[in-house]
């Protein structure tokens, strides 16, 4: 004899079929990335050469147009040269990258005060761009001026006694075009 359960006493219902409509899948091209152009290849080549030549390692490629350079000296005397900067893809990012490389090329602490070191790092950047045949745009030169003006103001706030003559053109803020 089969024992009935309460479930057996309930009337049988058909299960409702639920149809889920999904949007059609987006087609993605197998190779969505474009092959690098001539200038992109040139920027990549310059980047590799500069990093190798100056023994610098990139800690992080920044998405912003800012950078920093530093070095770490270990107990055994080895030195790690590091930067963070935007990856060179155009004149501005290349200038910032080369500016950070410039800090290592000229040597930390070679120039005092610090604003003079900034000047020589920018000079290295612009001179290197000219030597490599890269486009030094007006915007790059404006960025250099703004950066050096800021460095001078910062040094003045910190008690700078005498401004090096190389920095005299950057004392006044750049005049903005109206």
Q: What is the pLDDT of residues 52-62, one digit of tens each?
A: 999 999 999 99
Give residue 10's pLDDT. 77
pLDDT of 84 higher than 90:
yes
List the one residue out of 89, 74, 83 whose CA is nearest residue 56: 83
Q: What is the pTM of this model?
A: 0.79
Give residue 101's pLDDT. 98
Mind listing the pLDDT tens digit for each residue in 98-121? Answer: 999 999 999 999 999 999 999 999
pLDDT of 31 higher than 90:
no
| 178 vs 157, higher pLDDT | 157
92 touches 144 (CB < 8 A):
no
Give residue 58's pLDDT. 98
Return the structure tokens found at 136: 């030094």
> Cα Rg for the chain, rounded, in angstroms?
30
Ramachandran category for residue 83: left, alpha or beta (phi over 0 → left; psi -120 to 50 → alpha) = beta
Give residue 176's pLDDT. 76
């Amino acid at each position: 004899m089969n024992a009935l359960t309460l479930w057996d006493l309930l009337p049988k219902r058909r299960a409702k079929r639920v149809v889920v409509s999904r949007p059609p899948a987006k087609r993605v091209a197998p190779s969505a990335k474009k092959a690098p152009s001539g200038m992109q290849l040139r920027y990549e080549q310059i980047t590799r050469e500069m990093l190798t030549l100056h023994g610098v390692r990139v800690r992080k490629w920044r998405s912003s147009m800012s950078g920093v350079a530093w070095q770490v000296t270990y107990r055994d005397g080895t030195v790690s040269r590091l930067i963070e900067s935007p990856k060179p893809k155009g004149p501005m990012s290349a200038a910032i990258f080369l500016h950070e490389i410039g800090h290592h090329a000229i040597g930390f602490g070679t120039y005092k005060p610090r604003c003079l070191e900034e000047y020589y790092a920018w000079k290295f950047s612009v001179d290197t761009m000219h030597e490599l045949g890269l486009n030094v745009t007006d915007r790059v030169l404006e960025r250099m001026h703004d950066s050096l003006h800021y460095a001078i103001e910062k040094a003045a706030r910190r008690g700078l006694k005498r401004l090096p003559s190389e920095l005299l053109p950057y004392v006044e803020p750049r005049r903005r075009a109206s």
